[in-house]
Amino acid sequence: MGIHREAAPTLLLASALLCFALFGLSVWEAPLFLRIALALPLLVIWTIVVLFFRVPHRSPTRDEAAVVAPADGKVVAIEKCASKSIWAMTGSR
């Protein structure tokens, strides 16, 4: 697993904000449980941001009848549409 190359500015900003917030919590003279209670959501949010930009290892399938989703998730339906295609409605192509 890697990190997408265009994620660098966002991850740098998120990491800098996390560092400043954790430093502020460390020097704040509040009870320890309160500082931990405030730090945990910050760490969870930072983790979600990092996981959003991950590039998971994918192994291609050799099955020619398989449908591969272009994004993480699963394909729930493949069906023909009764309406005209979007290209016919817009007049492009």
88 within some domain: no
29 within some domain: yes
pLDDT mean over 25-41? 94
C-alpha to C-alpha distance for 35 and 26, rounded to whole angstroms: 7
pLDDT in tens, 62-72: 888 877 766 65
SS3 54: strand
What residues make up the domain containing 28? Answer: 1-58
84 within some domain: no
- Number of domain units in the chain: 1
pLDDT band at 90 (very low <50, low <70, confident <90, very high): low
**pTM to 2 decimal places:** 0.61
22 within some domain: yes
87 within some domain: no
**pLDDT on residue 72:** 59
93 within some domain: no
